[in-house]
Every structure is written in structure tokens, then in C-alpha cells.
């Protein structure tokens, strides 16, 4: 069963050809797609192509006879969950800014009762023109959501802002437009991935964390309205461009990045697998010798303990990856490190895996999360954080 209905408007931009791939991606994500094509867009892509990919007739003319009351521009906007204009030309942005309604797509935008998300795509000079920037500011103030554009080489050969946003970031913005913004005006700092500690100039020790949990938490928090920053160690995954990233490959870099950024955030989630010990560094390369070699390890700073001691006014979330006694060890971590909640899991069941079973441990109870994909778990965890924060806020108001 298809989840949501999207009206996809395609306007007269060179990037209109990318609408074909976008439709394929939307349908893969279970969206019902109804395409509305402007007259100019037909110069770049044919209605037949978009009809074949969407599985629905492409709409162009608001004056064609139709079933029902003949008010297609009203009817379509009432049944849609989202109107997405991708690509959005500079001309169409100007129409939106001035409330024009001279074709089917502009009428749909003006008559809508659902969110409107636009993805600008045009030449860099057109995008940076004062008129375009003024128009973008106007539609943003009117509640229109804007995704992109990206920086890069354009069809004309110039380089700059104006490329249609990459589809990974666009899909996140689509989900954001359809998701309750429970973390609006909240800033969330997330540490993610594994740290890597050098043994010598050629070798290092690390761990098996893939960074997937941190990635999913970041993406989900973004769709819930948060301003997200990720302090990222070594990871198997790239963060979407719409999420801010601070690279921190080893323990010291992770420590400095977390401590220097946490004060500017409301919530800190420690999902990174940070080194508890690091080797004494040997300059150069250790040569092969006997069959056995010893490496001295020294204990590193306990970053989460430091954070709990010095930033207890923030909402602090820790992870406890354990080989046994998950709940007991997680509870000890919650108390000893002065955290608000701890997410406990078994190492062999979670580290490096796409699915995991977890338990959320707070100061009142333990909530077991059955085995599921980590994107599902991340949504449950963030909703849990929101509920606890809301409870604290209500408590503060009462007092």
C-alpha cells in the first residue's frame, strides 16, 4: 500500500531530465506520484517518459475537461500530502513569490492545503541574482520549504550554487516535510563511528563500529526538525550533505570536537565507539622481528564522564555496548556518568549490523526495543527523548 501522495511539479530547467530518476526513487520509497508539467518543462522532457515512470497520466492543462466538478486545481491539491517542485526554475520561484496563477501548477500551489517543497535549479548567476534571492526569501517567509541547491559544475560549464540538490538530501527534505517537527529550534550533537589510534606510521587499532546507528540518528533527527551536527570518526557510511559534519578520526580529536561544540547544543547523543585505550605511538614503522610483539596501551580520557560532570544541564544520551548483563551495566553507566538515558545493546547483536535489539534505560524504567532496522530504532529513541524532554518542561512549568 502506497504511503503518501506527492504532486511532482516539473518546470523549465535544464535539470528537468533528472525528474525521471526522481520519480523512480519516489516510487521505490512507496510514494504515489502524480506529475504536473509546465509548458517550458516540455522542452526538456516528454510527458510520455514521465507517465511511463510514474504510472499515471501527466497533467499539463487546467482547462481540459475532467470528471467531477471541473476544479482540478482544487481537487488535486486537496488529495496530495505534499507538492514538490523539482527542479524549480527562477521564473517559477518569481511566480510563487508574487502569487501568480497562470497555469495548472501555479494554481495548485496557490490553492494548496498541504506543504510545498521547492528544489531550485538554475545557472549560478541567476540563482545569486538579487531578484532571485529576494523571491526565495519571500516564499520562505510564506511557509514554502526550500531544498538546496547544491554547489558544483553546471550544464553551462560554470561552477557555483544552482545545481539541483542531490537526491539523498532531497529525500530527507521530503520526509522532513511530511514528519511532525518535534525538534524544531533544537540543536542535537551526535558522535558517531569508530576512532582509529595509530601504532606507528603504517598501522593502527580500531573497532568494528560501522557508524550506521549514528547516521540513522542524524538523518531521523534532521527529518524531525533538529539542527544536527555529527562528530564523525571512521565510518562505512557518508553523511548526507544537508547534515553538518565534524571529522574526528581519533580519541583526542573526538574529545576536542565534542567538548568545544556541546555547549551550543541542547542534546548530546554519544553513539560513537570511542577508544578506551590507545597504543604508545612508535615513530616510523615497527619492523618484523620475533613471532610475538607487545604493544603498550594507555588509558584515554573518559569523554562521556567528563561531559556528564561538566554539561549536566544538557540532555545527555549514552550507548552501552555490552557482552553480558546489558541492563545492569547500562544502569551503572547511566548513574556513574550522570546521563539522562542509556541505550543498551549486545555487541554481537548490534556492532556492524543493520539490525539490533536494544533497551532504553532511564532513571524510572527500562523499555525493550525488539530487533529491528536501525533507522526504526533511531526514530523510537528520538521520540523517547522528546517525551522525556516534554515531561521535564511540564514539570518546570508546574513548579
Question: Which helix (DSSP H) or strand (DSSP E) does residue 367 occupy?
Answer: strand 366-373
Catalytic option among 109, 114, 156, 242: 156
**Nearest-angstrom CA–CA distance, 159 and 139:** 25
Q: Residue 81 in contact with residue 58, Cβ under 8 Å?
A: no
Handedness of CA 147, 106, 37, 52 (dihedral sign): positive
**Active-site residue flag, 156:** yes
Which segments within 135-251 are labelled E, that is strand? 145-146, 150-153, 159-163, 187-192, 197-198, 204-205, 227-232, 244-247
Domains defined for the chain, CATH in brackets: 4-177 (3.40.50.1950), 187-282+294-398 (3.40.50.10300)
Q: What is the pTM of this model?
A: 0.89
Distance of CA 333 to the CA centre of its chain: 28
Each residue's pLDDT tens digit in the chain (399 positions)?
A: 458 999 999 999 999 999 999 999 999 999 999 999 999 999 999 999 999 999 999 998 766 655 544 556 567 778 899 999 999 999 999 999 999 999 999 999 999 999 999 999 999 999 999 999 999 999 999 999 999 998 877 776 777 788 999 999 999 999 999 999 999 999 999 999 999 999 888 888 888 888 999 999 999 999 999 999 999 998 988 999 889 999 999 999 999 999 999 999 999 999 998 988 898 888 888 887 767 778 888 999 999 999 999 999 999 999 988 878 889 999 999 999 999 999 998 887 777 678 888 999 999 999 999 889 999 999 999 999 999 998 865 545 443
Q: Which of 100, 37, 33, 104 is nearest to 66 (CA)?
A: 104
Amino acid at each position: 500500500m502506497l504511503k503518501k501522495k506527492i504532486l511532482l511539479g516539473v518546470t523549465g530547467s535544464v535539470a528537468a531530465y533528472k525528474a525521471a530518476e526522481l520519480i523512480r526513487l519516489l516510487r521505490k520509497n512507496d510514494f504515489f506520484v502524480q506529475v504536473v508539467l509546465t509548458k517550458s518543462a516540455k522542452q526538456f522532457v516528454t510527458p510520455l517518459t514521465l507517465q511511463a515512470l510514474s504510472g499515471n497520466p501527466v497533467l499539463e492543462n487546467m482547462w481540459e475537461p475532467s470528471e467531477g466538478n471541473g476544479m482540478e486545481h482544487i481537487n488535486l491539491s486537496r488529495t496530495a500530502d505534499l507538492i514538490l517542485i523539482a527542479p524549480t526554475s527562477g521564473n517559477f520561484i518569481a511566480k510563487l513569490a508574487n502569487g501568480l496563477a497562470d497555469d495548472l501548477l501555479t494554481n495548485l500551489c496557490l490553492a494548496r492545503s498541504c506543504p510545498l517543497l521547492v528544489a531550485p535549479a538554475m545557472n549560478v548567476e541567476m540563482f545569486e541574482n538579487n531578484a532571485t534571492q529576494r523571491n526565495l526569501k519571500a516564499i520562505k517567509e510564506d511557509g514554502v520549504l526550500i531544498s538546496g541547491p547544491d554547489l558544483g559544475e553546471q550544464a553551462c560549464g560554470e561552477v557555483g550554487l544552482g545545481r539541483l540538490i542531490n537526491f539523498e538530501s532531497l529525500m530527507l527534505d521530503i520526509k522532513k516535510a511530511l514528519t511532525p517537527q518535534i525538534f524544531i529550534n533544537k540543536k542535537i550533537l551526535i558522535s558517531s563511528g569508530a576512532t582509529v589510534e595509530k601504532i606507528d606510521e603504517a598501522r593502527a587499532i580500531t573497532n568494528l563500529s560501522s557508524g550506521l546507528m549514528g547516521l540513522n540518528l542524524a538523518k531521523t533527527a534532521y527529518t524531525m526538525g533538529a539542527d544536527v551536527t555529527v562528530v564523525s570518526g571512521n565510518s562505512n557510511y557518508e553523511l548526507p550533505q544537508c547534515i553538518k559534519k565534524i571529522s574526528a578520526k581519533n580519541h583526542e580529536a573526538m574529545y576536542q570536537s565534542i567538548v568545544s561544540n556541546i555547549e551550543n547544543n541542547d542534546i548530546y547523543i554519544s553513539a560513537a565507539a570511542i577508544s578506551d585505550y590507545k597504543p604508545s605511538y612508535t615513530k616510523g614503522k615497527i619492523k618484523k622481528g620475533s613471532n610475538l610483539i607487545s604493544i603498550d596501551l594507555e588509558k584515554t580520557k573518559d569523554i562521556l564522564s567528563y561531559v556528564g560532570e561538566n554539561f549536566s544541564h544538557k540532555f545527555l544520551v549514552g550507548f552501552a555496548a555490552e557482552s553480558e548483563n546489558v541492563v545492569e551495566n547500562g544502569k551503572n553507566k547511566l548513574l556513574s556518568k550522570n546521563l539522562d538515558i542509556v541505550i543498551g545493546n549486545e555487541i554481537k547483536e548490534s556492532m556492524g549490523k543493520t539490525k539490533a535489539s536494544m533497551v532504553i534505560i532511564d532513571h524510572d524504567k527500562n523499555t525493550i526495543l525488539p530487533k529491528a532496522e536501525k533507522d526504526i530504532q533511531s526514530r523510537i529513541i528520538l521520540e523517547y527523548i522528546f517525551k522525556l524532554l516534554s515531561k521535564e518542561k511540564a514539570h518546570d512549568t508546574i513548579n
